Structure 1
Amino acid sequence: MNFLQHILDLGPSVMLPLVIFIIGLLLRQGIGKSLRAGITIGVGFVGVTLVISLLTDNLGPAAQDMAKRFNLGLSVVDVGWPGAAPMGWASSVGTVAIPVAILVNILMLMLKWTRVVNVDVWNIWHMTFAGAIVATATGSFWLGVVGVAIYAAFAYKLGDWFAPIVHKYNGLEGIAIPHGTGALMAPIAVVTDAIIDKVPGLKKININSEKIESRLGPIGEPVIIGAVLGVIIGILAGYDVSSVLQLGIQLAAVMVLMPTVVKFIMEGLMPIAEAAREILDKRFSGQNYYIGLDPALLLGNSQVVAASLIFVPLTLVIAILIPGNRVLPFGDLATIGFFISVAVGVHKGNLFRTLISGTLIMTMTIWIANLMVDVHTKLAVDTGTISKGQVASLDQGGSPLMFILTELFTLQNIVPLIVVGGIYGFCVLFTYRWYKRGMKELEIEGEKNESAHT
């Protein structure tokens, strides 16, 4: 366990390359190809980390200054995933979370309950945090372990359901995103998309960065959109002219750099993923396995990046409008793109629809994060993360599945449990039917193509 913790402490930019290098060797890719794949992925994650740091160091304080300037009364700071993940790993559940999540994956593969082979070990922290919250709320280590197992199984199933979207929209064949935030929130987008399709007028609205660029010319390019958003946020934060312009350039840089650095991750992952899929397909014919990877891959899409930047100020507005909310979005503002990464694909890049579903996603997230402040703070105190004050997080602290599991075991917030459980449960069931219908259509299409060739 100490060895696993030591590996985790290296962070995703070192840990994932090590995992990919080992997998490459197991797949008989040779030392050279495996090493190149691992290092290339590491370079990509370093790039992503630098871009996210650019946002955290500059956009985060601007958002906080904006909140203070307008006296928003949000007293509990969102520590973000960089603050939440260590709490999960430092908990008692954190010592067994990785083996539990891997065993769940292996069991589901053996029983043919999933086709996702998850190599995204770092993001097991989502499952770990959920289990740690359950253990903290109930006082039971074993209920925490059960929480990890349920969360892991659900994430792998979501990876199955949304893999066709990742393939068709993002062009990542054989890849799944069994992510505890991006995939977990996507069922809300599926229901939103279906509702909009039933509304005359709304269903015809299609806005994306390409259309904006074609209408406005150079002014509509992502780099200009990023700069304009930065300037607006800087002005609202009360910055001077120099700082406003600097923030504009910094957000413009994010729009350009994020897709660029993500390409390195894709370059390293794709050969390994393809080799793994070929071997699995040969040994287990007809199964069409998916390799489970980090949603950072989806940030290479310009629509995801554009929506991410739009949701920075919008998330603050949502936090202000929710009655009784105390949580100030801060730490996770830089990674808002992960919340809506799969949703963008569900909407086929339509930013108008993404804004609607994303607003619903962030509203639920902030509301849950606010309800979980006390338990979140207790976990932080128990793990020695803080000694005073209160904390929250949007990523996992606002997870509907984590909230449902915790409340089912404790029955502390019955009405919110009924509301969140009812809404999210309906979205999940609807998504399952949506997935099954989509798979049937693909089968029919495949049969037609096969008959056309014979």
Structure 2
Amino acid sequence: MKEDELMLYAVDHFFNAFGATIVVPLMIFIIALFLKVKVKTAVISALYAGVGLTGFSWIISEFTPVVTKIIRQMVNNVGIKLPVVDIGWQAGSLASFNSTVGLAFFVFGLIIEFLLFALGITKVFMPSNLWNNFGFMIWGTLAYYVTHNFWLSIGLSCFMLLYTLELAEIQADRWSSYYQINNTTVSAAQNIVQTVPAILLDPLWNCLGFNKVHFTPTSFRQKFGIFGQPTTLGAILGLFIGILGNLNRITSYQAWGQICQFAIQLAAVMTIFPLVTDIFAKAFKPLASSIDQQRQTVSNEASDPIHHRKRWFLAIDDGVGYGEPATIISGIILIPIMVIIAFILPGNRTLPVVDLISLPFMVESIVAITNGNILKVIANGIVWFSLGLYCSSWLGPVYTATLTHYGAAIPAGVVLITSFNLMARPLNVVVFAAFISKNPLWIGLCIIIYLGLLFVLRRYRPQIWTYLNQMAAKNAGTTTKSYQKE
């Protein structure tokens, strides 16, 4: 094995040994010291991050098998026979870290992220969310398997990073305002692209009157009292999904035992996840406040942060938003909807299963941009994720061959595998297709579009953020959360 490959695999073993619950808090501690946060506060922030990530891991690892079992029963009830089966994002993440291209991007991509921020090309400090870099690494890994071109594959991962940062900055003010952690945004490659339909389709939903519908957690509580609380809604949704999974034996007491258990389990997730989210959010609030203080110290511009040219954003894990009521409610509602759509969508070959539990992660940008309008979130999700099913269907053979090459095991009886969270991404797939074509025209077109959007963002950033806030304020029954200093 070459010396550079040994170095890359040493990095892989290091990160695997310590894991996200150690590496991410350590990164937060270093960034906090860089931002001149007191050592005591920096230590507490790091601990909160570790505790929050551990809490997320425990809840999701326990709940995923339960949801997966119900979904498989639901699938069997309706007789869905689809060859491309979603086995979850974890296998794709492992393959990324097992490939030379993936590891190379993990190391050098971190340097690129620092340079992009230092040179002012982006206002988003991405290294604070380095664990989600596998979202870029997986596309380079797939491209290398198809093309055997190392530099083209690295270039694809880098380009994915560039436009992800661009989208993260576009929605940054809206995201930080809605989720109430100043100067922060999410930047996971697999979840940020939902910014596109959330913005482009909003005028259509307004024409249909969706903005006038009171379909938010607040309106639920006002109209239905105890039945509008997240815990109660979790139980009701759990009963509904549980019944769908047990239609073929609905008269048996075993079925109702599972239905009632799932209702309590989903109610528990809807109750506990926001508590863990609050703990995780505490890790970033001192850092966000320090960014505010430094910006105000060096700037004599208007007090409105939208017009501050020195303002920048800390990229944080999207676990921070998972437990927010509108986010988790809309994500859970989309679970049975996407199973049904997978069954009726003409030409679809993908069966979403394990990654359906990631739907609250996947809709965060939509929730922020629509200001918590659950009806719009669901409508956007149906359109975008339906297109995503076609994308993952097309990529099924490539994804399966790549992951098998890097050691992933295919479950018994499954022909092809995918990750609904990683592969059901229309924009990512278009870029991927352009790069693996090796056609300079298509690759050049992608770059030109990116540069054009970058120019517009650099020149009209305040106007873009103002427009998104005005767009969010049009939604009835929502409260436009203004920027407030912590």
TM-score range, shorter chain: 0.7 to 0.9
Provide the rounded CA distance (Å) in 2 between the counterparts of 1:256 and 1:19.
29
Q: Which residue of 5, 17, 22 corresponds with 2:30?
A: 22
Provide the rounded CA distance (Å) in 2 between the counterparts of 1:381 and 1:280.
49
| 1:302 to partner: Cα distance | 0.5
Provide the rounded CA distance (Å) in 2 between the counterparts of 1:36 and 1:272.
12
Give per-residue Cα distances to partners, 1:145-168, cap 9 Å, x unaligned: 001110111111111111111122
| 1:2 to partner: Cα distance | 3.6
Answer whether contact 1:186 1:340 (CA < 8 A) is retained.
no
Point out the more displaced range, 242-251 or 207-216. 207-216
| 1:278 to partner: Cα distance | 4.3
Quickly say closer, same or farther: Cα 1:27–1:2, change in 2 above 3 A: farther
TM-score by structure 1 length? 0.88
Alignment of 1:65 with 2:73, yes or no, is: yes
Match of 1:246 in 2: 261
Match of 2:425 in 1: 399
Match of 2:275 in 1: 260
Provide the rounded CA distance (Å) in 2 between the counterparts of 1:283 and 1:107.
22
3-state SS of paired residue (1:349): coil
Q: Which residue of 162, 182, 206 corresponds with 2:171?
A: 162
Provide the rounded CA distance (Å) in 1 between the counterparts of 2:163 and 2:116.
11
Q: Which residue of 5, 10, 18 corresponds with 2:12?
A: 5
Match of 1:42 in 2: 50
Matched AA of 2:364: S
Matched AA of 1:324: G
Alignment of 1:9-408 (within 5 A): 9=16, 10-118=18-126, 119-199=128-208, 201-238=209-246, 240-276=255-291, 278-279=293-294, 286-386=309-409, 389-408=415-434
Which contiguous aligned blocks of 4+ residues in structure 1 show a shift greater than 3 angstroms? Answer: 25-32, 276-286, 431-444
| 1:435 to partner: Cα distance | 5.9
Quickly say closer, same or farther: Cα 1:198–1:324, change in 2 above 3 A: closer
Point out the more displaced range, 357-366 or 144-153. 357-366
| 1:37 to partner: Cα distance | 1.4
Ranges in structure 2 where 5+ consecutive residues have no aligned partner: 1-7, 247-253, 301-308, 471-486
Match of 1:449 in 2: none
Matched AA of 2:221: E
| 1:360 to partner: Cα distance | 1.1
| 1:48 to partner: Cα distance | 1.2
Answer whether contact 2:91 2:403 (CA < 8 A) is retained.
no
| 1:11 to partner: Cα distance | 2.9
3-state SS of paired residue (1:395): helix
| 1:341 to partner: Cα distance | 0.8
Matched AA of 1:256: T
Quickly say closer, same or farther: Cα 1:182–1:409, change in 2 above 3 A: closer
Answer whether contact 1:88 1:128 (CA < 8 A) is retained.
yes
Point out the more displaced range, 174-183 or 346-355. 174-183
Ranges in structure 1 where 5+ consecutive residues have no aligned partner: 445-454
CA RMSD of aligned residues (A): 2.8
Give per-residue Cα distances to partners, 1:171-215, cap 9 Å, x unaligned: 12110111213321121111121222234x444223112212211
Provide the rounded CA distance (Å) in 2 between the counterparts of 1:443 and 1:226.
30
Matched AA of 1:4: V
Give per-residue Cα distances to partners, 1:287-336, cap 9 Å, x unaligned: 11111111111123110010111011111112112223222211211111
Provide the rounded CA distance (Å) in 2 between the counterparts of 1:291 and 1:410.
32
Provide the rounded CA distance (Å) in 2 between the counterparts of 1:269 and 1:3.
30
* Corresponding pairs, count: 432
